[in-house]
């Protein structure tokens, strides 16, 4: 059962990596990066998942025996925030690039060489 | 008393938040404020350095008073104390240089990102928790992306984009590595990982370490993830280039080596060392050969810096105590020399427009002090005796010979030869070719900084012993993992 989660997460990572490495449109590359990040986050969550347990939130009746591992969830929260920051910055730079080069095709954005 | 070391992290963070208030008081105050903050940071770092080297004990800061592995801890051992000091001093110099070199608005954002870059690199070196390391790596990376794009030119945006894409791939790799480690060991604390590393399945450990090495290779500028580096070095503001070369890349290398050495006694270690050796060798070869055909001096230095980083990675890949000593020594020397050279070349760029080879013709007559600084740096990088890098290259050679790796000896000598070709070409251009332009009045503060660094290069070159002793202690901190585990007060663990 757990291996299905791993399989899904790793396929997302690979899809994202494929898009990042092969696409020519800058926005598609950034979408690829986001997909990859999502895959990594899912992988982290599934590492801490225990079948049949609830969310690790301190409510009535919740004990360490009935909740899943909270650490990966804390990590993923942090990773999501970092991912949002990176994506926002990347999109800003993409806007800048579009203004300068009038294109989003990375084959044509080649001011720096050697 | 020990908890004051957390100011190393807290001071730049809070100062970065106060920048908008300073802007209210007046735009002119921002850069002096930046200089003041970095000066205070230097003071704290010097105190921590003195504390660690006189007592011989690392400073352990427990975040929130929770004992690791429940809480996050900072570990400022001999290595971290030395490099945190280097980071603070270089940042201080660059804050002074920024007053001259930065004229693009918004200056308040620049000051904020500058402080965050310093904070990130300090944190990467000081932390004792692998996820905390990731967070600091991302702080460093995001502020580095933004600073690369700061000049808002075509090249700057393009370089920043390359950096962001590679950095994004790298951080995903790193997190997958962390997931593998956490999934098999159930801890994120570096000391505890080292303690139970041998329980991990060797194949999984190898995969996790390879992913972590690739993830950190973006920051550490190892081939093939260093494609961003020459572009970013060329396009970013001059003080930022100095910071990249002097300590951001060192922080990445340190993190990589720290994590890999935690697995020193496991079967996965040898395979990863070979990976680092191969990556390092490729980085040296490609960096040196690319440097040969550059016409932009800043880009040439960038490639030269990448090649030196490759040498450092090779040294860590050899991984005998002698090699690690020599490598840490090389890291220190490289930080000093490249800080000097990028500072001088950046100053030329600020004064005459662009750091293109054309503009260096006859520089010896127009800006004698700057040209002298570049010359000393160049001679030192090539590895001429009586200059500091000679000693670290020489000791690295001896260490490689000791374990019979003649290939590495050939690599170091070949790299020095190629360096000699392009650096002597630069020296020749500066002193013996006729250039046009009037003599420039050189800034006093920058002249003093350059002379200080030149003096440091020559003093280390003539009397390497005191620094060598310091560096040996720092290297032992990296290499002696058993000591590292013992120094961190892990909860519920008795050794």
Domain-embedded: residue A78: yes
Domain-embedded: residue A44: yes
In this prediction, residue A84 carries a pLDDT of: 92
**Cβ A86–B188 below 8 Å, yes or no?**
no
Q: How far apart are CA B392 and CA B147, in angstroms?
A: 32
Domain-embedded: residue A85: yes
Per-residue pLDDT band for B154 (boundaries 50, 70, 90) equals confident
Contacts of A37 in chain B (CB under 8 A): 168, 172
**Cβ A36–B169 below 8 Å, yes or no?**
yes
Contacts of B184 in chain A (CB under 8 A): none
Domain-embedded: residue A111: no
Q: Which of A86, A101, A109 sits opposite B142 (nearest CB)?
A: A86
**Cβ B176–A17 below 8 Å, yes or no?**
no
Taking only residues 50 to 69 of chain A, the set having a beta carbon closer than 8 angstroms to any beta carbon of chain B reads: none
Domain-embedded: residue A112: no
Residues near B332 by Cβ (< 8 Å), separated by ≥ 6? Answer: B82, B86, B392, B467, B471
| pLDDT one-digit tens code per residue, B393-437 | 888 888 888 888 888 888 888 988 898 888 888 888 888 877 777
| pLDDT one-digit tens code per residue, A23-47 | 888 899 999 999 999 999 999 888 8
Q: Which of B158, B164, B179 sits opposite A86 (nearest CB)?
A: B164
B348: which 2 tokens?
């030329």
Exposure pattern of B221-250 as b/e (b: 16+ CB <10 Å)? bbbebbebbbbbbbbbbbbbbbbbbbbbbb
The answer to whether B151 faces chain A, any CB pair under 8 Å, is no
Coil, helix or strand for B75? strand
| pLDDT one-digit tens code per residue, B101-134 | 877 778 888 889 999 999 999 999 988 889 999 9
Domain-embedded: residue A108: no
Q: Which of B159, B168, B182 sits opposite A112 (nearest CB)?
A: B159
Per-residue pLDDT band for A114 (boundaries 50, 70, 90) equals low
**What is the per-residue DSSP string for A42-110?**
HHHHHHT--TT-B-S---TT--TTTB--HHHHHHHHHHHHHHHHHHHHHHHHHHHHHHHHS--BTTT--
H helix runs in B246-387, sequence order: 249-261, 268-292, 297-318, 321-352, 363-366, 368-382
Query: Measured between CA atoms, how close is B242 to chain A, in angstroms?
Result: 20
In this prediction, residue B320 carries a pLDDT of: 85
Number of folded domains in chain A?
A: 1
Contacts of A29 in chain B (CB under 8 A): 165
| pLDDT one-digit tens code per residue, B332-361 | 999 999 999 998 888 888 888 788 887 778
**Beta-carbon pairs below 8 A across chains A and B:** 104
Contacts of B146 in chain A (CB under 8 A): 89
Exposure pattern of B179-210 as b/e (b: 16+ CB <10 Å)? bbbbbbbebbbbbbbbbebeebeeeebbebbb
Coil, helix or strand for B189? strand
Domain-embedded: residue A17: yes
Whose tokens are 């999984």? That residue is: B204
Q: Which is more confidently placed, B435 or B301?
A: B301
In this prediction, residue B494 carries a pLDDT of: 46
Q: 10 Å Cβ neighbour count for B50? A: 12
pTM for the full predicted model: 0.92
**Cβ B161–A90 below 8 Å, yes or no?**
yes
**Cβ B131–A78 below 8 Å, yes or no?**
yes
Contacts of B175 in chain A (CB under 8 A): 40, 43-44, 79
Nearest chain A residue to B139 by CA distance is: A82
B303: which 2 tokens?
């490639």
Mean pLDDT of B170-184: 90
Q: Give the domain extent around A71.
A: 2-51+67-101
Specify the CATH number for the domain of residue A88. Answer: 1.10.287.3510
The mean of the pLDDT values for chain B is 87
B427: which 2 tokens?
């020296």
In this prediction, residue A47 carries a pLDDT of: 84
Domain-embedded: residue A57: no
């Amino acid at each position: 059962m757990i291996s299905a989660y791993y399989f899904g997460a790793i396929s997302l990572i690979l899809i994202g990596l494929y898009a990042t490495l092969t696409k020519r449109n800058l926005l598609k590359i950034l979408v690829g990066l986001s997909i990859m990040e999502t895959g990594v986050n899912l992988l982290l969550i599934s590492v801490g998942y225990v079948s049949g347990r609830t969310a690790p939130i301190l409510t009535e009746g919740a004990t360490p025996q009935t909740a899943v591992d909270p650490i990966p969830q804390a990590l993923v929260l942090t990773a999501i925030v970092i991912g949002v920051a990176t994506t926002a910055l990347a999109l800003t730079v993409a806007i800048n690039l579009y203004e300068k080069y009038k294109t989003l095709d990375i084959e044509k954005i080649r001011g720096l060489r050697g | 008393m020990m908890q004051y070391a957390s100011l190393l992290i807290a001071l730049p963070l809070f100062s970065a938040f106060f920048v908008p208030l300073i802007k209210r008081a007046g735009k002119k105050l921002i850069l002096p404020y930046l200089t003041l903050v970095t000066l205070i940071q230097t003071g704290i770092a010097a105190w921590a350095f003195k504390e660690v080297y006189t007592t011989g004990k690392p400073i352990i800061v427990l975040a929130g008073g929770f004992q690791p592995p429940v809480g996050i801890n900072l570990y400022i051992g001999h290595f971290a104390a030395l490099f945190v000091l280097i980071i603070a001093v270089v940042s201080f110099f660059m804050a002074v240089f920024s007053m001259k070199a930065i004229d693009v608005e918004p200056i308040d954002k620049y000051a904020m990102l500058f402080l965050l870059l310093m904070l990130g690199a300090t944190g990467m070196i000081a932390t004792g928790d692998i996820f905390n390391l990731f967070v600091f790596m991302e702080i460093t990376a995001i502020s580095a992306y933004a600073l690369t794009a700061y000049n808002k030119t075509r090249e700057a945006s393009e370089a920043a984009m390359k950096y962001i894409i590679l950095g994004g791939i790298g951080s995903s790799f790193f997190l997958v590595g962390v997931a593998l480690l956490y999934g098999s060991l159930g801890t994120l604390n570096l000391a505890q990982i080292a303690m139970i590393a041998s329980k991990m399945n060797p194949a999984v450990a190898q995969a996790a370490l390879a992913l972590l090495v690739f993830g950190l290779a973006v920051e550490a500028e190892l081939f093939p993830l260093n494609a961003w580096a020459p572009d970013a070095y060329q396009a970013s503001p001059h003080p930022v280039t100095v910071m990249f070369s002097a300590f951001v890349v060192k922080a990445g290398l340190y993190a990589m080596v720290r994590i890999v050495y935690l697995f020193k006694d496991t079967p996965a270690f040898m395979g990863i060392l070979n990976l680092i050796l191969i990556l390092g060798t490729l980085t040296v070869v490609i960096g040196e050969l690319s440097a040969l055909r550059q016409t932009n001096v800043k880009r040439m230095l960038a490639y030269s810096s990448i090649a030196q980083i490759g040498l450092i990675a090779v040294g860590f890949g050899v991984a005998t105590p002698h090699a690690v000593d020599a490598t840490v020594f090389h890291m220190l020397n490289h930080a000093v020399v490249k800080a000097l050279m990028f500072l001088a070349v950046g100053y030329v760029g600020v004064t005459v427009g662009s750091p293109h080879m054309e503009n260096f013709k006859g520089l010896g007559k127009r800006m004698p002090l700057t040209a002298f600084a570049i010359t000393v740096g160049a001679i030192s990088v090539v590895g001429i005796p009586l200059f500091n890098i000679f000693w670290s290259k020489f000791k690295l050679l001896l260490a490689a010979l000791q374990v019979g790796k003649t290939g590495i000896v050939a690599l170091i000598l070949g790299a020095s030869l190629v360096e000699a070709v392009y650096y002597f070409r630069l020296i020749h251009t500066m002193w013996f070719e006729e250039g046009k332009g009037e003599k420039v009045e050189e800034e006093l503060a920058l002249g003093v900084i350059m002379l200080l660094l030149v003096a440091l290069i020559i003093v280390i070159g003539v009397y390497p012993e005191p620094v060598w002793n310091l560096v040996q202690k720092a290297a032992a901190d990296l290499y002696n993992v058993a000591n590292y585990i013992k120094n961190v007060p892990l909860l519920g663990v008795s050794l």
